[in-house]
Structure 1
């Protein structure tokens, strides 16, 4: 089943909250507060910020009720230039010589048939005809007025035929809510948006294609798929020899999975400007400090400041997340982007099991011509990064480790050579870090984002998505991608939003039963203006304040409370000596202030 076709990037419709949901509200004081937390945050006592109330999780009370209605396109409000097309009238005679209408003219017009499922090809249109005449610029739309019997989530299925792939936008009560692409086989097919929330009464559903299609009808039925989302993830890490700090962090994350969304922010430099800006704006710090280590084979030593900043954040009670902007190990063109480097991962692949060999053994293979220069370059980079991660291990810092991000795409070199190469590199890195370097502080995050790039489930702990939307679009909960990813990896894995352009709507996340383990807001234009001040281009100030003060969100101070307020690691004066061979190179890493992610990402099952 093609999720791009059936799920079609539907988004929850954020309605005006009419009441506080009747379920019990989340209590952030589940464990006793410690008498004192000596190193909570790095703000001076003189610094003052505004105080904000706690916002309860609020959304209209949901009443589940089986329902189903069919709305013919010819009865909807048609945009300028659209027309209703009907088959020519044909008359035949029966055995007695009486004239009868053709089969096409006698199909039922508005009867709802629950046995007709999405992804169903329908041989004939229903009703009096279908609507056509849409423009390529999306200027013509059909608006259905539907009647929702209760406040609940609905599946909206459009019967569409098209000769070419056509992008379609869906607006609900004037808010752009979803987008999908039609099929191109000229057959009427149901394309379904799952779990769109509607309040009781009338709503307007507008379909705006960017190209000509044949639109037959809209079918609205109560949703059942969102109730399938579960939060019973396994707490055992993929690394059976994981260290205590990693186990404790994973225990915590699985314990509160589905109860809170953990807040996270990417820092562009060790100065933590973005985190301090969030504090000044909301009165709260994020629980997770994310960094993007930007390295190439000529520059690993510059990362020391960022690695040190990670350790400092952990000493203050926070959680550390790292990703790797790994420039390809090319001698001439180093870049993370495939178009800007001559390095090809396919040229590095080998059938020789090198994952747990020493550098001396691998160097020997290279000297004998048994592995390529590209393969040897990969190993050198992987081992150099192991030095950075070993530095954190020696300080007792667990790391949410997300390498090879957005692996399904072809824009980064690690995804550009196809899924086999991507999976080979993942397996190589996982085994080398886990078995050879014994990095027991890593919690592995798979960010392949496609069923085709799914690696061995025993080699990762969390599955995540990167989801970017244009500014001004309602971000909502992104429940449709949450559900699609859980269907791919299974309910035993935590599901997280590893990168986003906008802070997700916490109320909508609970309303839509899509409570991400955590989110990570990217930096740059997604948060600040040219002067480094807070920008409302993607997330309004009020939305950020409400998110960070929501009773459904977990911030740094609340995380420390739930952990008992204890000092999480000793303040080592110097690093412990490493016990692992060849965790070489310096413990420097890089600040990620030279890259910015711009991709919009969906879950793919092809």
Structure 2
């Protein structure tokens, strides 16, 4: 039996009269309510951005939201456009955005011994000058212990809470070694952000991503934990860290960022996970809400997008990271869009060794995405 009810938000009652069901004389009645698309009223102003460039960038996202999805890729070791160049070589088009990561900014003497000099913003400026949108994120590394020397080879630091004695709660307590590290590293990043700001470059900003990790696991199993130090001591402390960074960057004069919070949501399975709404810093500290999905089908993409848009109806919802996993290829972005997963943008992770791009999506996935009429790429003259 099929029930056809094309209207949204409609309750349908069905009764099966007695005698129609085999092996019983009983009648059956049941009802259901069809899905209703949540009212979306995206906030038109930024929570912290005040430069004209960042206002223009946010307006650009707003103008495309629900109409097109903006393409992006993660940089190869964070301060270049090598992967974007590979996507261009494969498909004939550059992604519209390139994501840079401050993951190695902890290294003493930036630029020495072959390490990145983040204070040289040339790679970012070159990308922006060709019309590319700049994304920024930060795998915020901390020393493995108070007395560990952070060496020039990059050893002695980690994001993994199981490999460090760094306590996230102490990061906000004056007089602790964690507090000293927390603010000295933020000073380094803020200095680069201000250089970008002075150069007229605005960016999306995705710090403290995937904060909940597996902490919303319903079973209580031992693996139900956060996998980054910033989430290791729970949602309340996580939000304090976010707000501390937000306030500190504001104090420093950083005004060129669109702040993006990354939800863990259901990890695609509501039977095993609770929502992570408790980890949300608050509307006044977040411009967009992201979700990181790997190896998720078109249907899972739609589920995650729909749940997030319903939970955060005033925020644009974006696909923070995506790519292949042990579950298979990431859902075809064109098919995701058609199915209703209308992400504001998507960003493919690097290091996947998939095809000629060396990302976590295959050549076939990329060719399909970059030729899709719903996907925004860098103008072809670049």
Fold agreement, TM-score > 0.5 = yes
**Pick aligned residue for 1:443 from 253, 258, 271:** 258
Q: Deviations over 1:132-187 (max 9, x none)?
A: xxxxxxxxxxxxxxxxxxxxxxxxxxxxxxxxxxxxxxxxxxxxxxxxxxxxxxxx
Aligned to 2:123: 309
CA separation of 1:372 and 1:263: change in aligned 2, threshold 3 A: same
2: CA distance, partners of 1:247 / 1:548: 27
Map Cα deviations across residues 565-598 of structure 1 (whole Å, 9 max, x no partner). 9xxxxxxxxxxxxxxxxxxxxxxxxxxxxxxxxx
Cα distance change, pair 297–524 in 1 and its aligned pair in 2 (3 A): closer
Q: Does 1:388 align with 2:192?
A: yes
Deviation at 1:310, TM superposition (A): 1.4
For the residue of structure 2 that corresponds to 1:236, the secondary structure is coil
Deviation at 1:518, TM superposition (A): 0.2
Matching residue of 1:433: 249
Task: Determine the structure 2 residue equivalent to 1:459.
Answer: 285
Q: Counterparts of 2:71 and 2:195 in 1: how far apart (Å)?
A: 25
Aligned pair 1:522/2:349, yes or no?
yes
Equivalent residue, structure 1, for 2:271: none
- Runs (5+) with no aligned partner, structure 2: 16-22, 149-155, 214-225, 265-275, 325-329
Where does residue 404 of structure 1 map in the other structure?
Answer: 208
Determine which of 489, 494, 499 is the counterpart of 2:316. Answer: 494
Instruction: Tell me the CA shift for residue 401 of structure 1.
Output: 0.6
The structure that is helix-richer by fraction is 2
Task: Kindly report which structure 2 residues correspond to 1:291-440, keeping only aligned pairs within 5 A, or say none.
Answer: 291-295=100-104, 297-299=106-108, 301-302=110-111, 303-304=116-117, 307-329=121-143, 330-331=145-146, 332=148, 333-350=156-173, 371-409=175-213, 410-434=226-250, 436-440=251-255
- CA offset digits 1:46-94 (Å, max 9, x no partner): xxxxxxxxxxxxxxxx992787899xxxxxxxxxxxxxxxxxxxxxxxx
In 2: Cα distance, 1:384 partner to 1:543 partner: 37
Deviation, structure 1 residue 484: 1.5
Residue 288 (structure 1) aligned to one of 83, 97, 101: 97
The verdict on how the C-alpha distance between 1:548 and 1:63 changes in structure 2, with shifts beyond 3 A counting, is farther
- Residues 546 and 379 (structure 1 numbering): CA distance in 2 closer, same or farther, change over 3 Å? same
Query: C-alpha displacement at 1:347, in angstroms?
Result: 2.6
Cross-structure match for 1:114: 31
Compute the displacement of 1:325 (Å): 1.0
Counterpart contact for 1:477–1:506, Cα < 8 Å: no
Give, in angstroms, the shift of residue 467 of structure 1: 0.9
CA separation of 1:334 and 1:289: change in aligned 2, threshold 3 A: same
In the TM superposition, what are the counterparts of 1:193-272 in structure 2 within 5 Å?
223-225=34-36, 227-228=37-38, 230=40, 232-239=41-48, 242-269=50-77, 270-272=79-81
The SS at the match of 1:485 is helix
5+ residue gaps, structure 1, are: 1-61, 71-104, 116-221, 351-365, 566-606
Shift of 1:235: 2.4
Structure-to-structure mapping, 1:185-200, within 5 angstroms: none
Structure 1 residue ranges (4+ consecutive) displaced by more than 4 angstroms after TM superposition: 65-70, 105-109
Tell me the residue number matched to 1:37. Answer: none
Deviation at 1:298, TM superposition (A): 4.2
Q: Cα RMSD (Å) of the superposition?
A: 3.0
C-alpha displacement of 1:475: 4.5
Deviations 1:95-152 (A, max 9, x none): xxxxxxxxxx97958x45016xxxxxxxxxxxxxxxxxxxxxxxxxxxxxxxxxxxxx
Greater Cα offset, 384-393 or 324-333: 324-333
Question: Structure 1 residues 405 and 548, CA, compared in 2 at 3 Å: closer, same or farther?
Answer: same
Corresponding residue SS for 2:100: strand
Q: Deviations over 1:242-275 (max 9, x none)?
A: 1000000001100110000000001114452211
User: What is the CA deviation profile of residues 4-60 of structure 1, one whole-angstrom value per residue up to 9, with x for unaligned ones?
Assistant: xxxxxxxxxxxxxxxxxxxxxxxxxxxxxxxxxxxxxxxxxxxxxxxxxxxxxxxxx
What SS is found at the alignment partner of 1:427? Answer: helix
Partner Cα separation in structure 1 for residue 26 and residue 278 of structure 2: 41
Shift of the alpha carbon at 1:527? Answer: 3.7
Q: With the length of structure 1 as denominator, give the TM-score of the two structures.
A: 0.50
Distance in 1 (CA, whole Å) between partners of 2:121 and 2:13 is 55
How far residue 478 of structure 1 moved from its aligned partner, in angstroms, is 0.2
The structure with the largest alpha-carbon Rg is 1
Q: Distance in 2 between matches of 1:378 and 1:312?
A: 30
3-state SS, counterpart of residue 228 of structure 1: coil
Q: CA shift at 1:516, angstroms?
A: 0.4
CA distance in 1, matches of 2:291, 2:282: 17
Secondary structure class of the residue paired with 1:452 = helix
Q: CA deviation at 1:459?
A: 0.9
| Equivalent residue runs for 1:526-541 within 5 Å | 527-528=354-355, 533-534=356-357, 539-541=361-363
Contact 2:354–2:363 at 8 Å: present in 1 too?
A: no
